[in-house]
Amino acid sequence: MVTIFDVVRHAGVSSSTVSYVLNGTRRISEATRGRVLRSVAELGFHPNAGARTLAGRRSHIIALVMPLHRGVYVPIMTEIAISVTTTARRHGYDVLLVTNDEGPEGVRRVAASGLADGVILMDVELDDQRIPALRAQGTQAVLIGLPDDPHGLSCVDHDFAAAGALCAEHLADLGHREIAFIGYGSGVYQRHAGYAERTLTGFRERAGQRGLRFLDRPCEGTYESTAGTLARIVADRPRTTGFVVQNEAAIGPLLSLLHSSGRSVPEDASVVALCPEQLAEQYAPALTAVSGPTRELGRVAVDQMIRRLTDARRGAQPEDERPLLTPTLTPRQSTARLSVPKEPS
Amino acid sequence: MVTIFDVVRHAGVSSSTVSYVLNGTRRISEATRGRVLRSVAELGFHPNAGARTLAGRRSHIIALVMPLHRGVYVPIMTEIAISVTTTARRHGYDVLLVTNDEGPEGVRRVAASGLADGVILMDVELDDQRIPALRAQGTQAVLIGLPDDPHGLSCVDHDFAAAGALCAEHLADLGHREIAFIGYGSGVYQRHAGYAERTLTGFRERAGQRGLRFLDRPCEGTYESTAGTLARIVADRPRTTGFVVQNEAAIGPLLSLLHSSGRSVPEDASVVALCPEQLAEQYAPALTAVSGPTRELGRVAVDQMIRRLTDARRGAQPEDERPLLTPTLTPRQSTARLSVPKEPS
DNA sequence: TCACCACGTCGAAGATGGTCACCATGGGTG
DNA sequence: CACCCATGGTGACCATCTTCGACGTGGTGA
């Protein structure tokens, strides 16, 4: 094993100098710095993680707590995890993957043992049980999602209300007057996943402002449930020409159902999806979709965490931030101007 | 911060006893054990990770190296990551998420610093650059996938050949004589992802044994490329009645293309997908699919790692294992007996 | 020319919180 | 009485960071 003293000998400096160079703790002349770095590279020195953690009282590790539910859109979570990891690396941190099956105890363990310097929580529920645990430990935390009471921690999330509003706006611009909103299964709403509600709220509000008639229906996302949902929508509001789908699993079924019921997209019905670009492009026709900057979510979360950690190390009270990331609507082939107005004036 | 000495005072024992109880290193009488555990629980003691790592010369952390490619089937990777994490926890290990953008250097860093006791590699290429780095460090490693030269490390993978064979078998049993195999885009084969080749080999072999005529075509998975692939298949072999799809992204396009070209599934064409159950169930009709036990993959990888680590700690040479997990075919609505034989005898 | 200062580096002494090889004790056994 | 087993205690590490007084060097102002 290569230790710091091997570097000390090889570079002809003291161990404190090596430490200073590697941690950037103090100004070191460019010449010495270069010599040390060359020795480090040549010997393949990597400071022992345990010793560094113990002596420095920080682990250079951020814990990322991932949800386990099926039904959450997994690739999104993964994309966030990856952007968290790469961003963390850029700041010299590694990422510990923690699953949620340990519940609040997992968070407590990771924080209390000093395994991680901070915790990033994904898929936050409105009254999340892990938050009090985090507060009690005095651990730095960043949430991806918005809980009821976020004091003492930073949050970041998509601006779901804006996303919902964008959908209404776009369909209104295209002349549609009657819209149906196809949401998630009731389980998602019961889990108090705020994003579902906020999207709906944003949609409703803007739809109201634009004078649209609208209907919203939960949907489990299976073929059968989507069929049922669509049937009820058509029964209640036969003149519906615009569809907003939030449940990604329902998109496929919805398209085939529309097709098989003789309505072609976008001539007879426009469909806006709330889903990642990648998914939207896979359908035929390609879907007009509203999506938030997923990778950004992870990046911002880590940046906030780094800020909190450096603040805390300086003895300052970290500032609670709460940015919302703006989604964008990308028009594709699934929406079109209402060509034959159902209500000629 | 609660240290082991707080427990020592509270329970009235020595620090080694506390350590022994917590690590199960040694027999401790039931009475003492209970007293210690009660104190630990009462004080909320969690051994300091850094100190434990330094003193014990092991971190209780397993590094999991994840690929970054888009286009690989992400949810599978995620499912593996989750099963790795939960299994590791059952053995008292945590999981460090390492992305592949650091390349072999990432693996080297994590191993040389003692940050992780072992490394699990996903998405292994045939001549993977990270493997020599691992060998040089003398780090314990388990690969998910099969490289060219796996000596000195354990591997686990699906039995892709068996999966390919199952597809051929099933279609042959149903009376189909002409089959088309729709593979991944050429990029996947160029990356030397062994699984694509092995599936194809298994399929070809069994198809040959069963006297099937078959055709295999790569496919990028977009709507356009799938359309092109299908057109060429129909042109070359108009009597094709069975389809095997390995590229999950091509499934949706394939189904709509078959539909729009007037062939209904399964009456006119049978489709077998090589994909996870979850995905297969989302289509209409639900797909007959061959899938391997994804979670099992992560579980087995971790179990192998644990075995290697305990062997190595005992001074024994860890045994290289190389199990292949058997896939299963689940019949659903997308395959049927060929009802109107094209070649009446 | 000399006192003084700022800068960069050294060296050595803790501090960090557990682990584990080795040792001590005490009661039972042949 | 010698020996052994079961149990629990003692203390030497583990490898780095941090801190702090000291020191050499070159520049500055009197």
What integer is the mean pLDDT of B252-280?
91
Domain with residue B35: its CATH number is 1.10.260.40
H or E, element range at A216:
strand A213-217
**Does the residue B345 lie in any domain?**
no
Q: For B99, which of A86, A109, A256 is closest by C-beta distance?
A: A86
Co-location of A197 and A282 in the same domain: yes
Confidence band of B342 (pLDDT split at 50, 70, 90): very low
Mean of the per-residue pLDDT values for chain B?
92
Residues in chain A: 345
Cβ contact A254:A217 at 8 Å = no
Q: What is the mean pLDDT of residues A238-254?
A: 93
B residues 241..280 contacting A (CB < 8 A): 249, 252-253, 256, 278
Residues of chain B contacting residue A279, judged by C-beta atoms under 8 Å apart: none
Question: What is the pLDDT averaged over residues B13-30?
Answer: 93
Total count of domains within chain A: 3
pLDDT exceeding 70 applies to what percent of chain A?
96
Concatenate the DSSP letters of all residues of A95-120 into one string: EEEEEGGGTHHHHHHHHHTTS-SEEE
Judge if B33 and B92 occupy the same domain. no
Same domain, A186 and A206: yes
Pick the range with the lowest mean pLDDT from B124-128, B132-136, B323-327: B124-128
The Cα B184–Cα B225 span in angstroms is: 11
The CA distance from A287 to A317, in Å, is 46
Instruction: Give A 55-84 residues with CB within 8 A of chain B.
Output: 55, 59, 61, 64, 66, 68, 70, 74-75, 77-79, 81-82
Compute the average pLDDT of residues B313-331: 95
User: Does residue A270 register a pLDDT over 90?
Assistant: yes
Residue of B86, B101, B249 lying closest to A86 (CB–CB): B101
Residue B53 lies in a domain: no
Inside any domain, residue A31: yes
Domain annotation covers residue A345: no
pLDDT (tens digit, 9 = 90+) per residue, A126-173?
Answer: 788 899 999 998 899 999 988 888 999 999 999 999 999 999 999 999
How many beta-carbon contacts under 8 Å exist across A and B?
A: 141
Instruction: Find the domain containing A286 and state its range.
Output: 160-292
**Are residues B166 and B139 part of one domain?**
no
Is A331 domain-assigned? Answer: no
d(CA B124, CA A341): 56
Lowest mean pLDDT segment, chosen from A323-337, B113-127, B296-310, B320-334: B113-127
Q: What residues have CB less than 8 Å from A62, skipping those under 6 apart?
A: A84, A88, A93, A94, A95, A96, A116, A117, A118, A119, A120, A302, A305
Same domain, B174 and B272: yes
Kindly report the CATH number assigned to the domain that includes residue B121. Answer: 3.40.50.2300
| Residue the block writes with tokens 């993959």 | B297
pLDDT band at B71 (very low <50, low <70, confident <90, very high): low
Q: Does pLDDT of B11 surpass 70?
A: yes
Nearest partner of A37 among A64, A18, A14, judged by Cα: A18
- Can you tell me the distance from the alpha carbon of A279 to that of B241, in angstroms, rounded to the nearest whole number? 29
Percentage with pLDDT > 90 across chain B:
76
Q: In whole angstroms, what is the distance from residue B253 CA to residue B178 CA? A: 21
Q: CA B331, B335, B337, B341: dihedral to nearest 10 degrees?
A: -160
Looking at the structure, do residues B184 and B287 belong to the same domain, yes or no? Answer: yes
Whether residue A197 sits in one domain with residue A112: no
Q: What percent of chain A has pLDDT over 90?
A: 73
Q: Are residues B231 and B262 in the same domain?
A: yes
Which tops the pLDDT comparison, A177 or A123? Answer: A177
B-interface mutation test, from A4, A46, A90, A275, most B Cβ less than 10 A away: A46
| Both structure tokens of B225 | 């490329």
pLDDT confidence of residue A188: 73
- Residues A234 and A229: their CA atoms lie apart, in Å, by 9
Q: Which of the four pLDDT bands, split at 50, 70 and 90, describes residue A75?
A: confident
Q: Is the pLDDT at A237 greater than 90, yes or no?
A: yes
A164 plus A284 within the same structural domain: yes
Within a domain: A239 = yes
Write the CA distances from B303 to A216, B137, B142, B156, integer angstroms.
Answer: 48, 21, 10, 11
Does B115 contact A at CB distance below 8 Å? yes
Instruction: Indicate whether A54 belongs to any domain.
Output: no
* Strands of the A154-158 sheet, one edge to the other: A324-325, A154-158, A140-144, A118-121, A61-66, A94-99, B94-99, B61-66, B118-121, B140-144, B154-158, B324-325
Regarding whether A208 and A92 lie in a shared domain, the answer is: no
Residue A71: the pLDDT is 55
A182 with A145, same domain: the answer is no
- Does residue B89 sit within a domain? yes
Confidence of residue B340 (pLDDT cuts 50, 70, 90): low
Asked if residue A219 and residue A166 are part of one domain, the reply reads yes
